[in-house]
Structure 1
């Protein structure tokens, strides 16, 4: 097996898929990239036994076809130091020795038999299939993945729920304290269907989608999902189980609506939260017509802070407490210049929605309050 490939093209593709590889693998061969050369196309496969990703790289020249597994860390570290130039890979099929020749020298390393690399499972014949724009999927993942849980007792909460209807595709994530619902209006399915995408493959997609354009084809059955992109192909195990009815927890009638500048509110929260209790990160929002007062205190250390911001609000005065880290997370993942806080009373969940929705999406976030002592 012998081929010539651009060092920069190879390195960027290897770097993108290398995130699949776990730091510790049960099978030693899963520490490797699987190189397969067929008809002038080099495909590189990586897997952690639950998620498998493949990318294709056109080669400049190829002599003989074949497959070889090469240790990922060694190859990545070596390629990182080489400026853009053609690399010649020569593989001795008898000894599995790999020689990489470049302008001023060469690397030699031992490969492993590519036939021993685990094969990804195929989807069943009943698999559901749909397409959505690459940027819509990327936006949906960016809007929701931060709100997924790390809950061993409720694994269904540890991923993004895709709710597919004939009108739109809704992506939902919640950790029990905060919830994000992002309706993608530019995509729809042919029938009602749903699946839960785990956090790791969601983050892998978040890294490779900015390099892609056009449409992504998604197919899934009860156990696995396949994402087909121009240069990448990913198959991953899904989280099995029933996702909670997310619409039932979203309050329908929140009479108090506060419009405030998003960036100013984030800045004030970050400054004031420094003085909140380290155990709770509680900040108190005291809302009056025309202004919002943000305060925090740590009784143990006798520290406190408060700051006022102008806002659009004309109802009666009210106070509500939130965990500052969660509120900052939510506000940081909204792109609108202004947000609306929709509140009912200090014990009910508050909704945070952008004043201006992005084209093709409808975003809603929910945050559970914290009890105020006063």
Structure 2
């Protein structure tokens, strides 16, 4: 293998793929990047057996080949190399990275044991990258971090006519985002594991336009111009969550998002080890009260809001309440209640495509 390429392009490709390469006690090859050169293209691959990624950049190759190079060492070398172009060459088990002013030699290993990435042959689906990114980011924080119920540690994605629906829940709260599409989609609903989401988001955030998605039996792939990302999907059945979303409301409060967030931030200081905050609504008095109390003290705020319905007093985990605001872009939010002991629903007043449901605390 011998080639020349632009250092900036190579550094970006290695940076994207290096994050997936992790230390593995029984499979040390997973600490490496697989570099292969063919037809003046350099393909850089990494995998942790659950996620896999390939990045492709154009190069000027004088000979083709394949090599496995330590991921972290290669990235650190490139980050601290300042020339515009670099030359790469493999001689025996040594990988050479040259610039006009420097040369770095890195010991390689045999690429024979490097895992292949799965190829999914199902019907390709064209999605807008921005829509998919918005759907995932709106809900993934609500997924469970526990591995006891893998289906709850996932983002559930399914088609519904001319809409894509993204849902996540840990059984204490639930987030749903509905994305309108220009055309109806037909594909098998899938569960994307939450541990794969950060890398999927990172790739989506660096791209623009459309992408190709293929949904297989146990795998999903995302294909861009210069990137191929694949992930395992979770086996299991997502709960029938629609049955727990209240169809009616006994009490509704509409107020400015920033006013609510400011009070929540203060309440967090006094919410104690259980992050408990109390909400009391008196529609006749037009009072919406937020309070928190712990060993260090207590705080109470009455917020200006539009209120209708019945009186209600209820406690929530404050962290769960604040998590959803990253998905709300409007100026005002709606909080609806159906009495004590029942879930609260938070919506963006200006965008009904997002719904967030929070279960109350018992104590």
Partner of 2:298: 304
1:80 pairs with 2:79: yes
Residue 6 of structure 1 corresponds to 6
**Hey, what does 1:40 align to over in structure 2?**
40
For residue 208 of structure 1, the aligned residue among 203, 220, 225 is 203
- The 2-side partners of 1:22 and 1:291 are apart by 53
Of the structure 1 ranges 81-90 and 35-44, higher mean CA displacement relative to structure 2 is found in 81-90
Structure 1 residues 319 and 84, CA, compared in 2 at 3 Å: closer, same or farther?
Answer: farther
**Cα shift at 1:143:** 0.5
After TM superposition, the score normalised by the length of structure 1 is: 0.92
1:51 aligns with 2:45: no
Q: For the Cα contact (< 8 Å) 1:166–1:192, is it kept in 2?
A: no
Q: CA deviation at 1:183?
A: 1.0
1:32 to 1:302, Cα distance in 2 relative to 1, 3 A: closer
In structure 1, what is the equivalent of residue 321 of structure 2? 327
SS in 2 for 1:182: strand
* Structural RMSD (CA): 1.7
Q: Give the length in aligned residue pairs.
A: 361
Structure 2 spans left out of the alignment, 5+ residues? none
Asked whether 1:248 is paired with 2:239, we answer no
How far apart, in 1, do the equivalents of 2:312 and 2:185 lie? 46
Give the equivalent residue in structure 2 for 1:100: 97
Deviation of 1:84 after TM superposition, in Å, equals 4.9
1:109 equivalent in alignment to 2:106: yes
1:276 aligned residue:
271
Cα offset, 1:70, TM superposition:
0.4
Of residues 118, 138, 146, the one that matches 1:143 is: 138
Contact 1:212 1:231 in 2 (8 A): no
1:166: which partner in 2? 161
Could you tell me how far 1:26 is from its partner in structure 2?
Answer: 2.9
Q: 1:91 to 1:187 in 2, by over 3 A?
A: farther
Per the TM alignment, residue 189 of structure 1 is displaced from its structure 2 partner at its CA by: 5.0
- Quick check: 2:30–2:114 contact (8 Å CA) kept in 1? yes
Deviation by residue 1:141-184 (Cα, 9 ceiling, x = unmatched): 11111111022221111110011233211111001111011111
Q: TM-score, normalising length from structure 2? A: 0.95
Matched with 1:368 is: 359
Secondary structure in structure 1 of the residue aligned to 2:239: coil
- For structure 1, the residue ranges without an aligned partner over 5 or more in a row are none
Post-superposition offset of 1:113: 2.0
- Counterpart Cα distance in 1 of 2:322 and 2:214: 35
Number of the residue aligned with 1:16:
16
